Amino acid sequence: MEPYRIKVVEPIALTTREQREEALKRVHYNLFDLRADEVTIDLLSDSGTGAISAAQLAAGMDGDESYAGSRSFYRFHQAVTDLTGYKHILPAHQGRAAERILFNTLLEPGGIVLANTHFDTTRANVELSGCQAHDLPCAEAKNLDAELPFKGNIDLDALRGWLEGPDGSRVRVVVMTITNNGGGGQPVSMENLKQTAEICRRHGVPMILDAARFAENAWLVTRHEAGYQGHTPRQVAEEAFRLADGCVMSAKKDAIVHIGGFIGLNDPELAEKCERLLIATEGFATYGGLAGRDLDMIAAGLLEVTEPAYLAERADIASHLAGRVRAAGVDILEPPGLHALYLNAGRLLPHIPPHNYPGHALACRLYLEGGIRSAELGSLYLGEEDEDGNPIKSAPYELVRLALPRRVYTRSHYDHVGRTLEKIAKDAASVHGYRIVEQSPILRHFRAKLQPVPVSG
Ligand SMILES: *Cc1c(COP(=O)(O)O)cnc(C)c1O
């Protein structure tokens, strides 16, 4: 059961099918353009959408809003230092701001960054610095159905191959994303982190953690990795941070706050350069674009997020939903992680070709049938077509992500999601595809306008 009870509530929108049909038409079938109060169960993202605790709110009330040297900063600094062990801690307003500052400082044009998988903003910040971002996921990651525990690992042979190969001297940094968000929220083993750190050390390349879900990764390590079963998630997390040379963190995930992030580094010169850019673009080094109350809520959230009862329940609710989804006859990316379930829309809707976006079709149907908002991760997100709509490139898989906000929805909310999927799966042949009628040249999924394509035959 949930290791908390509900003290403050917020009503959610209960809409009719007609209202949802109208809303979909109005937003040109792009779920990003819905008003949040048209959504009943919002599983678009787990980022900044969690419920804060009474303790976090109380800590925020004690926030010190001094421009420089606030008490809040020192409490935040202590909490992050205790957790990570890094010598230099810089607050930032969210994860991508931390990435921008670190990569702008660390990278020069022509460099290469390697990762288990770059998250999309991480890749964007690497490329904006004039560098190439290469993903080296382990082989098991390619099999969606394989129930293996550490499909977030980096491919160590590929990593060695790059570092020892002709372009090895251009590799500036290796990023390990825990859990591997771009790779289906799959965890990275401590063994894989240790070996990566060792390879990086031998080649004089820093290893940086993209630590947005460090606690969820640690939980899965205590469940599945030999030698860690007696450890607490906090102990695993502390060890993981200490294997790396630094981290970037989106506090909107595993610090359970609505806004925030930070950079942690051991290298004093690099930290000083980052601090200069931070002051010029985010804010002074003791607030980094955040209010004092945000810093205090991060400090409190970082302690709560590794509590075993919290993580156990988060894993349990994800597996509860996974059970309902499988029972409805919908395959998911296995095994289910903690922060999201990924529905295999390509398999459920084989009659919709990639360039008519089966993932998007399922996401729209989930909204129409149940008021549920999700995110397409398929060919609308990753594909490309020519001007006549003929496919140039499609995504490797057509997925829909159901992100699970922290401490927000209960089992009965997720049962509604399960029932809705059951209804859709029974009548899957009636789900129709879409085509794009207007799009922007980059990150098109956010702003594209679409139109239904009727089922033929
Ligand atoms: C969310 C996320 C980011 C970016 O963080 P924001 O706070 O959204 O800017 C970076 N990396 C990973 C793995 C993330 O999940």
For 318-333, what is each residue's pLDDT tens digit? 999 999 999 999 999 9
46 is catalytic: no
Token representation of residue 32: 């990003």
145 is catalytic: no
Could you tell me which CATH number the domain at 17-39+308-453 has?
A: 3.90.1150.10
Closest CA to 41 of 287, 321, 279, 315: 321
SS3 230: coil
Residue 274 in contact with residue 105, Cβ under 8 Å? yes
Catalytic residue selected from 93, 253, 355, 360: 253
Instruction: Give the tens place of pLDDT for each residue, 31-87.
Output: 999 999 999 999 999 999 999 999 999 999 999 999 999 999 999 999 999 999 999
CA distance 10 to 49: 13
Ligand 1: which atom is nearest the Cα of residue 251? 7
134 is catalytic: no
Letter string b/e over residues 351-372, b meaning 16 or more CB atoms within 10 A of that residue's CB: bbbbbbbbbbbbbbbbbbbbbb
pLDDT string in tens for the chain (457-residue length): 899 999 999 999 999 999 999 999 999 999 999 999 999 999 999 999 999 999 999 999 999 999 999 999 999 999 999 999 999 999 999 999 999 999 999 999 999 999 999 998 999 999 999 999 999 999 999 999 999 999 999 999 999 999 999 999 999 999 999 999 888 899 999 999 999 999 999 999 999 999 999 999 999 999 999 999 999 999 999 999 999 999 999 999 999 999 999 999 999 999 999 999 999 999 999 999 999 999 999 999 999 999 999 999 999 999 999 999 999 999 999 999 999 999 999 999 999 999 999 999 999 999 999 999 999 999 999 888 887 778 899 999 999 999 999 999 999 999 999 999 999 999 999 999 999 998 887 778 888 999 999 876 4
CA distance 307 to 311: 6
- Pocket test of ligand 1: the residue of 214, 250, 338 to mutate, having most ligand atoms within 8 Å of its CB, is 250
Does the bond joining 335 to the residue before it have cis omega, within 30 degrees of 0? yes
State the distance from the centre of ligand 1 to the C-alpha of 370, rounded, in angstroms.
28
231 is catalytic: no
C-beta 210 within 6 A of ligand 1: yes
Q: Where along the chain do the CATH 3.90.1150.10 domains lie? A: 17-39+308-453
Q: Where along the chain do the CATH 3.40.640.10 domains lie? A: 54-304
pLDDT of amino acid 443: 76
212 is catalytic: yes
Catalytic residue selected from 98, 212, 244, 255: 212
SS3 348: helix
Residue 89 in contact with residue 263, Cβ under 8 Å? yes
- Pocket test of ligand 1: the residue of 44, 49, 93, 96 to mutate, having most ligand atoms within 8 Å of its CB, is 96
Q: Where are the alpha helices (DSSP H) in 307-357?
A: 308-327, 345-348
Distances (CA, A) of 48 to 95, 149, 296, 383: 11, 27, 16, 28
State the distance from the centre of ligand 1 to the C-alpha of 123, rounded, in angstroms.
11
State the distance from the centre of ligand 1 to the C-alpha of 95, rounded, in angstroms.
5
Which amino acid is it at 444? R
C-beta 337 within 6 A of ligand 1: no
State the distance from the centre of ligand 1 to the C-alpha of 335, rounded, in angstroms.
22
To 10 degrees, what angle do helices 71-84 and 292-304 make? 30
Could you tell me which CATH number the domain at 54-304 has?
A: 3.40.640.10
Residue 218 in contact with residue 190, Cβ under 8 Å? no
CA distance 244 to 174: 10
C-beta 152 within 6 A of ligand 1: no
Return all residues near 202 (Cβ < 8 A) that are at least 6 apart: none
pLDDT of amino acid 457: 47
State the distance from the centre of ligand 1 to the C-alpha of 96, rounded, in angstroms.
6
CA distance 267 to 284: 20
Angle at 183 between CA 180 and CA 184, to 5 degrees: 90
Residues in the chain: 457
351 is catalytic: no
Tell if the pTM clears 0.85, that is, is over it: yes
State the distance from the centre of ligand 1 to the C-alpha of 196, rounded, in angstroms.
22
